[in-house]
Structure 1
Amino acid sequence: MTKQKRCTASYKSNSDRFEALPPTVTHPYMHQYVSIYGARYAMLQQRCLDNVQLKNKKSISSSSMNSSSIETPIIPRIIELKEGVSSIAVGTIIKTTPARPAMDTAYHSSYEGISYLGAPYDDINGDGDKDEDEKKETKEALSHYCSAGDTIVLEDESGRVELDLTSEMDGGYNLVTGVVVAIEGTVQADGLMVVSAVYFPTTPPQASDEVGAEADADVDMDVDDEGEGEGEDDVNIMFLSGLDCGGTDATLSLKRELLVDFLTGHFSPGQGSNIARVIIAGGGCTKPTRPAGMVPYGDWNASANSSKSNDKEKEKSEDDVTLPIRELDLFLGELCAAGIPVDYIPGLHDPTNANWPQKPLHACLLPNATCFVNMLTRCTNPYDAIIGGKEFIGSDGMNIADLKRYVSKQNDSISTALDEDIDEDDVDENGNIVVPSAPLNKSSGGNALRSFTSVEALELALKFNHIAPTGPDSLPTFPFKDNDPFVFETTPHVFFAGNCNEYESKIVEQKNSDESKKTLLLCVPSFALTGQAVMINLKSLKCTIVEFGDLPKSPLGAGGEKHMEE
């Protein structure tokens, strides 16, 4: 019988910056959140100016970067902008969205009502009497908060100026509060700055080929004398998310067991042995349910007797609360017992801190899995590690889900209307094609704006040079003072987000001067929704979907594969 040995790849965690709390004498919340915006501005200001220099190479008379080297002067402080003079200024975007719900509405939504998927709040109150079409329309209306009433200003420590982005950046709908950019434009008499160009920060360096070659030399593909290895070109990393342990779907437990059988090679000899590591991007625990008799926090009008219950009810409630983490522990223990290294990234419903960066799950919560030394890596959220010479940066997907709520883009339906057959009614008396104008927001009866897809939001975050661009405005974070740990220090080879509705991927290439960097953007589908896992080849970054479904229904059966060429 041929014996296979699982391939391995070198591993180094780069998540130290996410481990440390803000340095304070007594408490991490002793200072204001303005500090993290100041640190972000300081870290990205020069990158924005570098991009100005890069985009204006033809206008530069010398290699030095100063106001005289570019036709348009660079103003060091916003307060020094002059009316009627085209200028360039660096600052932080502040976006006001009137459609955004009030904070008390967000915090007092139902205990079970927040998730990664769909509208900002999946459980819409009062829609029980609506039909499916009405519910779908309501959720589409809530899919983002952008509207024609949004205002955008550029701010630094000296002041702020309101921006007119009609001709740039899709009207400003793809900008969010907290993004650091360089703006070129002219201040009008009414104080409004008409923008002619927007410069994002240049991307930082990527790991060199030499570093990757040294790490690849650590890849171990040896097997026993009776078998043959797969070769160094066939080392893969598997991505999972949304395991939903403790959920009510009985078939999901079967799918998780099929996944374990696939990884351990029970389907066919050698299958799964080319997977060097499994990364679980959040969603391990299902959404919590409110224990019997529990009074929601802030519900001061609740009856004092509502929290009383008998001992049996309390014991059952405690079992229901701990069931998700116990199931997750057993699943991780199965993988570790099979000799599969696992990185677990905590998520929205896991027992860890709510504010980003989220800390690793405590070892006492995973007693079975942590028994296997060096098999389980309890990671932070966000995640940063170098595996086989390739840098992987990503999260459970909450940052991308939050970003999608505050950005939108023009609906393609208007532009594609020109490709369809043109009737006589579509042409005016001068022979010009007439396209009916549409309002900019859903509430006014139009459909001119659409939500970003998850992979588009990933690309936007990479362009912003920031893992969580909406924090701390809408994504809760710690008030860091001297640095912003979410700023990209290097350009990753793979930038991923977990718990997405479906699999998406895209390779983007970014050029800074003579340097070119390629990054794979990966949306890891929720295993609970799709039954899918994604494998990435470490050398080629080619993606392969492995799907686990009900045998009678799934065209692929259990453990079927779809190859997605990148």
Structure 2
Amino acid sequence: MFSDLSAQKEGSSLLCRPASEDQGPVFERMSLAYSPCSEHYRVGERSFSRQYAHIYAARLMQMRPLLTERAQQKWGSDVLIRKLCDLQTGEQCCIVGTLFKRMELQPSILREISEEHNLMPQPARVKYISESDELILEDELQRIKLDGKIDRDKCVTGSVIAVYGAERNDGKFTVEDFCTADLPLQSARPALSSDRFVLLASGLGLGSIHADSMLGLQLLVDMVTGQLGDQGEQSGAATISRVLLAGNLLSQNTQDKDATSKPKYLTKKTQAGSVEAIRLLDELLLQLVASVPVDVMPGQYDPTNYTIPQQPLHRCMFPLSAVYPTLKLASNPYQANIDGVRFLGTSGQNVCDIQRYSSMDSHLEILEETLRLRHLAPTAPDTLGCYPFYQKDPFILEECPHVYFSGNAPTFESKLIKGANGQEVLLVTIPDFSSTQTACLVNLRTLECEPVSFSAFSADDDEESEMNISH
């Protein structure tokens, strides 16, 4: 892949005598056709006066035909599909509904302010699942408890599924099997004649109290812009046709929670930590956009709205780089066609939220599960902040992507999965760059992915440690 392209050629080493006194070869960067597809994630006139029940109703209404078709494919075209109000005890049938998981450990503001708990703060937990959790399936009118062959801990609230089984005398529904909407249809991927790469990075963490990651970040910028390495490395860098930064550009340390509660006279001559971090980000982007198109997504700690879909960062924050047409400020979630390859992904809030409320630990496994559910963020708006959409749920996947990614993961992972109708999807978890010094390269021709790591010596390492760039 990219490492093969950047292999040293004879006479191209930095230790060799220059072939001539001229400047050397100039490598032209490949330009790709690009069309953004994130319009339905843009929120126009914002109104929070509506109830969140509307988004669940719209989600079920949109996905019921899909689940009905999948149920007939799996259990036969003559399978009985009932609504909860039409259930008969002991009758084998299929129900399509929205899962709700009642969790005893789920944080609740009502529990925190209640009289019997106001002196007992809830302990911080990594996961909120327990043995006492209950699965409930609900439709527009009723709900019923589920039991049987369904993994309670793996399920999350908000998932629309079809279950097959029968109602017992005690009022519970015994599940014999269940199915999800699975992958949507996928448009054909064009056959490319040469290797072209998109570089994915997330979690730059600017404004952190630790400055160690800045060297790796500058090495990354220098590699992409062709300032690093010999002719072999530069020719390889020229095949990087686009850079995508997937959220958390700023560090969590820039979130000054005490600023809103302090008196104004105490903050008169102080400056928010995010101001300096945004200025540094603008300078880094300036180096990139002068050489390659860059898409910038917001994340959890970036200066934009908290609820998803997060809107693009404002151009006024980037006075240096915003004048370049190669800077594209995108939303979170992000969707675009790059040379015919459809990219879809988030900055990772949806994956981290599912990880807390289910037994799944691997970000790659959660990424595949959301693709099988055909929904980007099933836990929104229950435990994940979300805009109260009214008539349509924009997080339902209407077309299958070719590359499906999630940012700010603890480690790099990738996997190529195939659907029943010939779909091929590359799943990528982009590691947090500030802690791992690792980015990803996606080959548009082959749908392969590999990490690019930048490691440097630090005070915590041995004295014999040395700088290393590997891909």
CA 1:463–1:508: 2 relative to 1, 3 Å: same
How many angstroms apart in 1 are the aligned matches of 2:301 and 2:111?
20
CA 1:538–1:559: 2 relative to 1, 3 Å: farther
Q: Does 1:307 align with 2:241?
A: no
Q: Does 1:283 align with 2:248?
A: yes
What is the deviation of 1:314?
3.6
Match of 2:419 in 1: 510
Match of 1:403 in 2: 354
Q: List gaps (5 residues or longer) in structure 1.
A: 61-68, 108-124, 127-137, 217-231, 297-305, 409-450
What are the within-5 Å matches in structure 2 for residues 98-117 of structure 1? 98-103=104-109
Match of 1:195 in 2: 175
Aligned to 1:370, the other structure's residue is in SS state coil
Note if contact 1:532-1:545 (Cα within 8 Å) is conserved in structure 2.
Answer: yes
Match of 1:156 in 2: 139
What are the within-5 Å matches in structure 2 for residues 340-355 of structure 1? 340-355=292-307
Note if contact 2:209-2:253 (Cα within 8 Å) is conserved in structure 1.
Answer: no
Aligned to 2:126, the other structure's residue is in SS state coil
CA 1:307–1:43: 2 relative to 1, 3 Å: same
Alignment-mate amino acid for residue 320 of structure 2 = N
What is the deviation of 1:208?
1.6
What are the within-5 Å matches in structure 2 for residues 119-138 of structure 1? none
Note if contact 1:163-1:195 (Cα within 8 Å) is conserved in structure 2.
Answer: yes
Q: Does 1:364 align with 2:316?
A: yes
How many angstroms apart in 2 are the aligned matches of 1:472 and 1:43?
17
Match of 1:40 in 2: 59
Cα deviation, 1:440-466, whole Å, max 9, x if unaligned, reads: xxxxxxxxxxx4211011011111101
What are the within-5 Å matches in structure 2 for residues 209-288 of structure 1? 209=189, 212-213=190-191, 216=192, 232-266=193-227, 267-269=229-231, 270-288=235-253
What is the deviation of 1:251?
1.8
Alignment-mate amino acid for residue 256 of structure 1 = L
Aligned to 2:164, the other structure's residue is in SS state strand
CA 1:488–1:308: 2 relative to 1, 3 Å: closer
2:282 equivalent among 319, 329, 337: 329
Match of 1:488 in 2: 397
2:336 equivalent among 358, 380, 385: 385
Cα deviation, 1:22-41, whole Å, max 9, x if unaligned, reads: x7xxx522321111111111
Cα deviation, 1:313-354, whole Å, max 9, x if unaligned, reads: 643x315341121111111111112x2100001001111111
CA 1:345–1:557: 2 relative to 1, 3 Å: farther
2:87 equivalent among 81, 84, 87: 81
Deviation beyond 6 Å, 4+ runs, structure 1: 104-107
Aligned to 1:144, the other structure's residue is in SS state coil
CA 1:366–1:295: 2 relative to 1, 3 Å: closer
Note if contact 2:417-2:425 (Cα within 8 Å) is conserved in structure 1.
Answer: yes
Note if contact 2:207-2:254 (Cα within 8 Å) is conserved in structure 1.
Answer: no
Q: Does 1:54 align with 2:73?
A: yes
CA 1:291–1:240: 2 relative to 1, 3 Å: closer
1:143 equivalent among 126, 129, 152: 126
How many angstroms apart in 2 are the aligned matches of 1:452 and 1:87?
33
CA 1:294–1:30: 2 relative to 1, 3 Å: closer
Aligned to 2:370, the other structure's residue is in SS state helix
Note if contact 1:84-1:187 (Cα within 8 Å) is conserved in structure 2.
Answer: yes
What is the deviation of 1:560?
2.3
What is the deviation of 1:289?
4.5
Note if contact 2:256-2:272 (Cα within 8 Å) is conserved in structure 1.
Answer: no
How many angstroms apart in 2 are the aligned matches of 1:51 and 1:177?
21
Identity of aligned residues (%): 32
Q: Does 1:15 align with 2:49?
A: no
Note if contact 2:456-2:468 (Cα within 8 Å) is conserved in structure 1.
Answer: no
Note if contact 1:45-1:201 (Cα within 8 Å) is conserved in structure 2.
Answer: no
Higher helix share: 1
Note if contact 1:546-1:559 (Cα within 8 Å) is conserved in structure 2.
Answer: no
What is the deviation of 1:541?
1.4
Q: Does 1:548 align with 2:457?
A: no
Match of 1:443 in 2: none
CA 1:290–1:233: 2 relative to 1, 3 Å: closer
Note if contact 2:180-2:373 (Cα within 8 Å) is conserved in structure 1.
Answer: yes
What is the deviation of 1:518?
1.4
Note if contact 2:137-2:145 (Cα within 8 Å) is conserved in structure 1.
Answer: yes
What is the deviation of 1:389?
1.2
How many angstroms apart in 1 are the aligned matches of 2:382 and 2:63?
18
Q: List gaps (5 residues or longer) in structure 2.
A: 1-23, 114-120
Q: Does 1:95 align with 2:101?
A: yes
Note if contact 1:161-1:193 (Cα within 8 Å) is conserved in structure 2.
Answer: yes
Q: Does 1:461 align with 2:417?
A: no
How many residues align structurally? 434
Cα deviation, 1:425-482, whole Å, max 9, x if unaligned, reads: xxxxxxxxxxxxxxxxxxxxxxxxxx42110110111111011111001111111111
Aligned to 2:423, the other structure's residue is in SS state strand
How many angstroms apart in 2 are the aligned matches of 1:45 and 1:455?
27
Alignment-mate amino acid for residue 340 of structure 1 = V
How many angstroms apart in 2 are the aligned matches of 1:104 and 1:192?
28
How many angstroms apart in 2 are the aligned matches of 1:343 and 1:289?
22
CA 1:285–1:155: 2 relative to 1, 3 Å: same
How many angstroms apart in 1 are the aligned matches of 2:379 and 2:207?
30
